[in-house]
Amino acid sequence: MNADNDPRSDDEIELPKPPDGDVGDEVIRLEEPDETPTPSKAAPPLSAQHPPSGPASVTEKKSKPETGAADKPKTDEAPLVRPGLGGPKAALIVGVALLVGAMIAAALRISGLEGAGFADSTLAVFYVLFQTLLHTMTGLAALLIAAKVAGRELGKAELGLARMLAAVGAFALVANLNIPIPGRIDELALAALAYTLVVWLVNRLSRMEVGVVVLAHAMILIVVALGSLLDGAYADAKSTLGPPRAREAPAAETTPADPGPADPGP
């Protein structure tokens, strides 16, 4: 039979008859497979297959940890004047106590000198008070210089001022003690040691920073002392001079006398 004239469709296939001839023709229809994908085998969306190559979305940016700030080295160091060992009030109380002790020691030391009176002791008390307060302020300037040299912030100025009052008060107290050693160099050396120990203990500085504070404070002290010496020398020079010179009055101009008429002679 010609395949072109076969009325059956292409997907119908005639099977050969069985040998016994009792069973009729059996036609098996082959169904074409369904090409529609099941939901489980559905292809992923195009956006998932080909992610965009442009900049990340806002969600992706937020999900990424910001490591830039964490990777940066910390350059900020602790300030030079750090809290600890009591606040400004505690340091102020210690400083005032040392100052009062220094004023009493100065009064006792002066009163023990021959010919000293109450006025001399009172003058010594006010002198110690003035010098201690003055060099407490200059000590704060020394702390500021040390902070600039170390490349650090100063910190709380009131705390540094109170601690410097304690350090200068310790210096004044030891310097005015009447140590039974000839001369005054021993008291000054011990006073400088006491000042250095207080600065180191209350501020917890390194040896280099303590050295910068002590050196800067000593230089300021020398400048102030030179100013006082120059002022005293100038005052002494003025006291030895006499009164201001009187200005001489300008000489009055005199006109020559008129000789009168000439004598005609004989």
Contact 88, 162 (CB under 8 A): yes
User: What pLDDT score was predicted for residue 255?
Assistant: 66
pLDDT score recorded for residue 65: 47
Q: What is the pLDDT of residues 154-205, one digit of tens each?
A: 989 999 999 999 999 999 999 998 777 776 678 889 999 999 999 999 988 8
Rounded distance, CA 134 to CA 127, Å?
A: 10
- Does residue 68 carry a pLDDT above 80? no
d(CA 170, CA 172): 5
Q: Is the pLDDT of residue 59 over 60?
A: no
pTM for this model (two decimals): 0.61
Q: State how far the Cα of 187 lies from the Cα of 201, in Å rounded to an integer.
A: 21
pLDDT band at residue 48, thresholds of 50, 70 and 90?
low
Confidence of residue 70 (pLDDT cuts 50, 70, 90): very low
Give residue-wise pLDDT tens across range 78-126: 888 888 777 899 999 999 999 999 999 999 989 888 888 899 999 999 9
Each residue's pLDDT tens digit, 209-232: 999 999 999 999 999 999 989 988
Q: Which residue has the higher pLDDT, 73 or 89?
A: 89
pLDDT confidence tier of residue 73, bands split at 50, 70 and 90? very low
Express each pLDDT in 241-258 by its tens digit.
767 776 666 666 666 665
What is the predicted pLDDT for the residue at 186?
A: 80
Q: Which of 49-58, 139-148, 251-260 has the lowest average pLDDT?
A: 49-58
DSSP string, 3-46: GGG--S-TTEEEPPPPTT--S---EEEPPPPP-SPPGGGPPPPH
217: CB partners within 8 A, 6+ apart: 135, 138, 139, 142
Query: Cβ of 198: how many Cβ atoms within 10 Å?
Result: 22
